Amino acid sequence: MPTKCSTCTGTYTPQQAGNGQYFHACPPIANPAYQPDPTKPAFNLVQTIEQPNKRDENLVLDPTGKVIGIKAAGAGVTLF
């Protein structure tokens, strides 16, 4: 079922072809502290930071290997 992340607005399908699974994690965003400066021609626009309230569906395991949840729920998801 298509899913939309409420944090980054990314859309994805958790269940992949061949019974594979996709575990969404919000991508980094541009760091607002690094604004383009036209007086510095070598300015690096690739400076990034983690998204605030990032969703990360990668699994967290207890010491015995049992799944206990996801890394971070973020702002949740919408199913459509």
Cβ proximity of 31 and 41 under 8 Å: no
Instruction: Give every CB contact of residue 54 below 8 A, 6+ residues apart in sequence.
Output: 7, 8, 25, 26, 72, 74
Q: pLDDT by residue for the chain (80 residues), tens digit each? A: 899 999 999 999 999 989 999 999 999 987 777 766 666 655 555 678 899 999 999 999 999 999 999 999 999 999 98
The model carries a pTM of 0.79
Amino acid at 63: P
Cβ proximity of 24 and 36 under 8 Å: no
Cβ proximity of 77 and 3 under 8 Å: yes
pLDDT of residue 38: 62
